């Protein structure tokens, strides 16, 4: 099995999270794995539980909803709506973490293929820093304050 590396998470602004990763596959296959519910069920769990529901109505204005159940029975749900769809290249959708329903994010997936490999980028745009922190913090102790502008500058020395 080919592992193409780890995900990189950065925080470009107070309201954003950027996740990047390269895959050893052409972009139409990454798109397929990202938008086919049966395939999403197989990777989205991150080995932290079972994905019990994946609904994808892939058209502008269409809804999506993912639900995962953790081994200790905790149900975690996310849902949203598709805003922009460019097959194999770009997918813009809203996202609400159901444990934190006040914070709606706008996610932009971008796929760029070079020599059969695909660079994947997910930009998560929140309406406020508090919402973004709630997002990163989902599943962790609530109420933690932010610190993230530091990450690139300071914490990089810890790697």
Partner 1 sequence: MARAATTADAFNAVAEPRRRQILDVLAGGERPVNDLVALLGLAQPQVSKHLRVLREVGVVDVREDGRQRLYRVNGYALKPIHDWVQGYERLWSERFDQLDVVLEELKDEEGESDGE
Residue 61 interacts with partner 1 (CB under 8 A)?
Answer: no
Question: 136 with 121: CB under 8 angstroms?
Answer: no
Q: Which is nearer to partner 1, 49 or 80 (CB)?
A: 49
Residue 61 CB, nearest approach to partner 1 (Å)? 26
Closest by CA position to 136, among listed 110, 103, 114, 112: 103
- Interaction residues for partner 1, span 19-58 (CB under 8 A): 19, 21, 23-25, 29-30, 32-33, 39, 42-48
Question: 58 with 85: CB under 8 angstroms?
Answer: yes
Residues forming beta bridges with residue 110, ordered by sequence position: 90, 121
Site stretch for partner 1 (CB under 8 A), options 1-9, 53-61, 74-82, 85-93: 1-9
Size of the site for partner 1 (CB under 8 A): 43
Q: Go through 77-112 and write b for each residue having 16 or more CB atoms within 10 A of its CB, e for each that does not.
A: bbbbbbeeeeebeebbbbbbbeeeeebbbbbbbbbe
- For 26, phi then psi, to 5°, come to -70, 160
Q: Which is nearer to partner 1, 42 or 102 (CB)?
A: 42
Burial class (CB within 10 angstroms; exposed 0-12, middle 13-18, buried 19+) of 20: middle
Site stretch for partner 1 (CB under 8 A), options 9-17, 58-66, 69-77, 83-91: 9-17
* Residue 67: both structure tokens together: 């639900």
Site string (97-136) toward partner 1, x via CB under 8 A = ---------------------------------------x
Q: For binding to partner 1 (CB under 8 A), which residues are involved? A: 1-4, 6-9, 11, 17, 19, 21, 23-25, 29-30, 32-33, 39, 42-48, 136-137, 140, 144-151, 153-155, 157-158
């Amino acid at each position: 099995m080919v592992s193409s590396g780890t995900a990189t998470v950065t925080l470009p602004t107070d309201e954003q999270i950027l996740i990047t990763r390269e895959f050893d596959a052409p972009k139409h296959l990454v798109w397929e794995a990202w938008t086919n519910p049966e395939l999403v069920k197989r990777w989205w769990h991150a080995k932290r539980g079972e994905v019990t529901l994946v609904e994808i109505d892939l058209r502008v204005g269409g809804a999506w909803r993912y639900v995962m159940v953790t081994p200790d029975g905790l149900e975690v749900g996310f849902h949203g709506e598709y805003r922009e769809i460019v097959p194999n290249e770009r997918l813009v959708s809203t996202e609400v973490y159901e444990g934190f329903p006040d914070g709606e994010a706008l996610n932009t997936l971008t796929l760029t293929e070079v020599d059969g490999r695909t660079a994947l980028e997910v930009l998560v745009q929140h309406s406020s820093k508090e919402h973004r922190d709630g997002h990163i913090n989902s599943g962790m102790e609530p109420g933690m304050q932010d610190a993230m502008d530091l990450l690139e500058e300071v914490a990089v020395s810890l790697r």
